Amino acid sequence: MRVLLSTIGSRGDVQPMVALALQLRELGQEVRICAPPDFSEWIGTLGIPFVPVGPEVRQTAALSPSAAQAPPTPEQVRQLMEDTVAGQFEEITAAARGCDVLVAGMALQFALHSVAEQMGIPYVYAAWCPITLPSPHHAPPPLPSRAQPPADGTADNRTLWTQDAKRWNDHWAAAINSHREAAGLTPVPDVRSHIFTGRPWLAADPTLAPWPETADLDVVQTGAWIRSDKRQLSLELEAFLDVGEPPVYFGFGSMRAPQDVSQAMIKAAHAVGRRAIVSRGWAGVTLPDNEPNCLPIGEVNLQALFRRVAAVVHHGGAGTTTAAAQAGAPQVVVPQMYDQHYWAKRVHVLGIGTAHAPGAPTADSLTEALGQTLQPDVAARAHTIAASVRTDGAEIAARRLIDEVSRIALGNE
């Protein structure tokens, strides 16, 4: 079986696809990944065929608010949407040739289902977080361009999801249907349902992120797609960990870091009597020279590191939240956008850490959050929850994908 895994987004959107690709390959399947060009080198080192799609995404994290460009005009937005859809139809059509199934990860997959339909092969859509899928039990997440948390429930959730579907149609229907017409396909009346399908997969842990059962969607929850990381920690990092009490880890992944966040992190760690490990991330967070009891790091095995820290302070990405939970590390989640507010709430509800208020953290706010998190009962709860977090989500998904495609193939014979 030949599988194309396609995603548009940051590292947090690509890592689950890599985990699934490696599991499929281990089960004897042929796999290729379609993702932004930022990930070509990394995926190439894993021996997975790679097809770039769209522009680079990393540069957006390094921009400070002052460096951001002026908002685009409506005409520029329209042209950007049309170019995005056209680029995906061209690049993904080429990447999908010879494949037996197409798998979309993350919502901005405007061409994949249409390409699968044109080729007459199965299509699967996978989400990383329950809140991104329609349900009367929760409101839609805020748009990625907005920093506010999800709606507070004052409006009916079904109404909010209906409004969300209208936004999808208003923004994307014309461009998608233009390309479908050119391919001899009928127009889609509901873009969001076309992309998500009525049976999406949910690659999230059932303990951390349970799907609220409804009649609206037939959701297949597999568990999170996380690759087992066997890399050794560097000698410098090992030495830092060995010389004192467990430090606090700070990292914002591929997110744009809030202004002056490095100073806030250092002051907060010192205020609670802890050393600090600070991930540079995509934003290139830097520390003052010769800052005592602080270590800046780059790319590292977070699964190994999180087992040796006192707490993990992060942005609330699905992958980081799950990795910290698997390690039994108490968490402080500082949500900035989209599904990060959901993960912050879940960490709080489960009692395995603290949900920091949305917005830029300060030394005082981080100190308060760490004070709440570095408590024996929170550590004990995090340790308990860790035992229930699944580690086999990618294997479950890979085996299910093989079985379903095989069953469809047999039915077509």
Same domain, 138 and 87: yes
Task: Convert the pLDDT of each residue in 25-75 to its tens digit.
Answer: 999 999 999 999 999 999 999 999 999 988 887 765 544 444 445 667 778
Percent of the chain beyond pLDDT 90?
70
Neighbours of 224 (CB within 10 A): 31
Q: Which amino acid is at 180?
A: R
Task: Convert the pLDDT of each residue in 131-152 to its tens digit.
Answer: 999 999 999 987 655 455 656 5
What is the pLDDT, as a whole number, of residue 263? 84
DSSP classification of residue 131: G
Same domain, 23 and 132: yes
- What distance in Å separates the CA atoms of residue 367 and residue 264, rounded to the nearest whole number? 9
Same domain, 197 and 214: yes
For residue 173, give the nearest of 192, 158, 160, 155 by alpha carbon.
192
What is the pLDDT, as a whole number, of residue 148? 56
Rg (CA), the chain: 21
What is the pLDDT, as a whole number, of residue 259? 59
pTM higher than 0.85, yes or no? Answer: yes
Residue with tokens 């995404």: 57
Same domain, 49 and 129: yes
Residues in the chain: 413
What is the pLDDT, as a whole number, of residue 403? 95
* Alpha-helix residue ranges (DSSP H) falling in 143-296: 157-168, 174-182, 191-196, 235-242, 261-271
Task: Specify the DSSP element, H or E, that contains 3.
Answer: strand 2-7
Task: Convert the pLDDT of each residue in 338-382 to its tens digit.
Answer: 899 999 999 999 999 999 998 888 999 999 999 999 999 999 999
Compute the Cα dihedral for 193, 199, 205, 208 and give only its sign.
positive
Residue by residue, DSSP assigns 27-84 as: TT-EEEEEE-GGGHHHHHHTT--EEE-SS--THHHH--GGGPPPPPPHHHHHHHHHHH
CATH number of the domain to which 243 belongs: 3.40.50.2000
Same domain, 382 and 396: no
Given a cut of 90, is residue 154 above it in pLDDT?
A: no
Strands 220-221 and 276-279: unpaired
What is the pLDDT, as a whole number, of residue 65? 43
**pLDDT tier at 195, thresholds 50, 70, 90:** very high
Buried b (16+ CB within 10 A) or exposed e, 99-135: bbbbbbbbbebbbbbbbbbbbebbbbbbbbbbbbbbb
Buried b (16+ CB within 10 A) or exposed e, 352-383: bbbbbebebbbbebbbbbbebbbeeebbebbe
Given a cut of 60, is residue 200 above it in pLDDT?
A: yes
Task: Convert the pLDDT of each residue in 270-280 to its tens digit.
Answer: 999 999 999 88
Helix (H, G, I), strand (E, B) or coil at 240: helix
Q: Please state the rounded mean pLDDT for residues 158-170.
A: 94
Q: What angle do CA 49, 53, 59 make, to 5 degrees?
A: 110
What is the pLDDT, as a whole number, of residue 280? 80
Task: Convert the pLDDT of each residue in 386-404 to its tens digit.
Answer: 999 999 999 999 999 999 9
Same domain, 240 and 202: no
Helix (H, G, I), strand (E, B) or coil at 281: coil
Same domain, 166 and 272: no
Integer CA distances (angstroms), 192 to 40, 60, 124, 214, 257, in order: 28, 26, 14, 18, 30
Given a cut of 70, is residue 221 above it in pLDDT?
A: yes
Same domain, 163 and 33: yes
Task: Convert the pLDDT of each residue in 306-343 to its tens digit.
Answer: 999 999 999 999 999 999 999 999 999 999 888 999 99
Same domain, 397 and 382: no
Q: Please state the rounded mean pLDDT for residues 98-109.
A: 91
Same domain, 205 and 243: no
- What distance in Å separates the CA atoms of residue 199 and residue 188, rounded to the nearest whole number? 17
Same domain, 60 and 208: yes
More confident residue, 301 or 152: 301
Calculate the average pLDDT of the chain: 89
Same domain, 176 and 277: no
Task: Convert the pLDDT of each residue in 82-96 to its tens digit.
Answer: 888 998 999 999 999
Domain housing 254: 235-386
Indicate the number of domains in the chain: 2
Collect all residues with Cβ–Cβ distance below 8 Å to 191 and sequence separation of at least 6.
110, 165, 168, 169, 172, 173, 176
**pLDDT tier at 413, thresholds 50, 70, 90:** low
What is the pLDDT, as a whole number, of residue 253? 67
